[in-house]
Structure 1
Amino acid sequence: MAVWRSPASDGFELVTTFGRRARMGVLVDDLYPGPTSRFDRGNVLVVDLRSGSIEGVTDIALFGGANALGVEASPGVWEIIQAADAELIAPGRYRLTRLLRGQRGTETSVGSPALAGSRVIVLDANLAALPLGEADIGLPWNWRIGPASRTPSDETFVARPFTPSGLGLRPFSVCQVEQPWRTARTPGDLTIRWTRRSRALAADSWTGVDVPLAEETERYEIEIRDGAAVKRTLTTASTSVVYSAAQQTADWGALLGPGDSLDVRIFLLSAIVGRGAPTSITLFF
């Protein structure tokens, strides 16, 4: 098969060729939200595969990236799920359990639920990666895919518009946001602290002091929110930011203290694609 592209309706250029069939299928049942950062033992992922098979793997293989699937949580939004156990329950139908949800930064893409009939694809070496560069992000290309032995104008080719968004370059959300109530404090300046995550595969190592920074620079934006409204946006180049007493008084008319709560959203910034996945949390005092 061959992949061609053009910024117009003609003048297509060959981008890549491939000769392997991806393992694709659909959800048999709705898939509901579940926990992330630990095994989801409550949900079952039942998939009808059009070709190929899925086998269970050891935890070591799973933590190394095995049995990863893209599940379309909603149109155009995909959650990456890994499955430790796989059981063939009918021809081409697999029951997958002991799931790891929201992998590779897709925890905000978990469906509510992902509906039966949604597309599923096994993420393995059979996938043909498009050789896209950073300069391609945001450009509305026209694509044609068909037999490599024929020209892109042949009737056997499938035509699709597709604009690369650079989603794989989006920084992961931060984690372990510190709750004010956990430490004794008096009303005044509030220091909001968190832990950085990283897209770099080396971040999975337990031997490092901190995860590597996958971005050119370390920059964050922190939204102070009142429901859907953004009261203030703070910026910082470290994993903490000060919400000063003067800012609190200007925003709320008084200092934040015992019994109060504060909604915040934290973004790690990318020089290429802008804001990363948000971490939304309510801080309690």
Structure 2
Amino acid sequence: MATLVLQTIGSVAGGAIGGPVGSSIGRVLGGFGGSFVDAALQPHASPRYSIGPRLKSMDGITSTEGAGVPRIYGRARIGGQMIWATRFLERVNVSFEQTQHQGKGGGGGGGFNVQFTYAYSANFAIGLCEGPVAFVRRIWADGSELDMTTLPIRIYRGSEDQEPDPLIVAKEGAENAPAYRGLAYIVFEDLALAPFGNRIPQFTFEVVKPVEGLGAMIRAVDLIPGATEAGYHPALKLNFYSPGATAAENRHQLTAATDWTASIDALQALCPNLESVALVVAWFGDDLRAEHCTIAPRIDSLFKTIGQFNFILGPFWPPDWSVAGLVRSTARLVSQIDGRSAYGGTPSDASVMAAIADLKARGLAVTFYPFVMMDVPPGNALPNPYTGAVGQPAFPWRGRITCDPAPGRPGSPDGTAAAAAQLSAFFTRYRAFILHYANLCVAAGGVHAFLIGSELIGLTRVRSGPGQYPAVAALTTLA
């Protein structure tokens, strides 16, 4: 009993003096003191000590004097050379367990088990290859890929002006700490070794070093796919399949916390002079006949819940997916092929706003690119405005949207007021699409540019009279 009491007192007193570390130390010291008190009160129940195995030496990566430094091009999986290390670190864990046993004559007695176990970690640096490299994409230990977000690492790309690592400076002193300029290397600080059998594992690394030239010339890119419900969100989103069963919705790699972060980090590393990103966000059209074509956001699954349960506001509130006032239960599903979605869903408004904020925080100019994808499935019975036959091409280009019949075909309204009426119906829906995102961009703090009307050539060439192009007029008014 004294062990438990003094453990508690020691933990409280130590916490008041030294915080969490002091609390742990106080608990250990209190436990020692309590065990002696209990032993004095019950001499027949002296503590039993159990001491776990300890390391005297450690195996792992070797360092070879005079070994060559690899030079890589493109993407390569390589090993490395140990270039710096400290002695391995040993931590002692002490646990106490009070036991009871039946004495002679029915009396009870107490005993104590005190167990000492040892945990090991290591500080070391591994030289990779000639720098500068763009980034290290993947890390394997003993052949198994590691989650880089959980590793205590710092990566040095091998520039000619890189500074010494702070851990090496702390251990060696500023005057003795090399910067390893021109060498790409990685520092592991306090890496726990228990998962690797209390040894430094055999590491390999996927290193990316683009050939000089093209990457440095790129100033602007389009960011796709445009149809991804949570893929644009910098924060991790979970898909709740069933109670207690989840999977990451927007993480399919082990480099960064989300696919977005991994992709944009890689983009900026490969294109160091990048200035502008066009963020593509898609809604879906469903007919090549302008008068009948609707434009709306869609989802890729009816039975998916992304987010977190809120016990106060209700199940999964706010809604896991919401675009322009639509939620998963009210939005249309994209076409299915063999039980799988033909497209990803429209990015949620929350993910679009988060993506804009992240791009701007990285110093990039954002061009917003609202995009119309045509979700016309195979085997449809829609009249084809270009042939008059039943059945439109599957998943056509939006540049094929036109009046019905198309210009040049018998009975086409091209060149008449009827053409203007057909296009007016289309642009009523298109206008709602554009204005929604214009307002969303304002709410996100603004963007550098906003692109509308791209590739709508089937509409912009339709005339309502000599020299009159109603689609051009509608786009001009919208702008």
TM-score exceeds 0.5: no
Report 1 or 2 for greater relative contact order, CA contacts < 8 Å, sequence distance ≥ 6: 1
More helix by share: 2
TM score, norm. by length of structure 1 = 0.24
* Larger gyration radius, structure 1 or structure 2: 2
TM-score by length of 2: 0.16
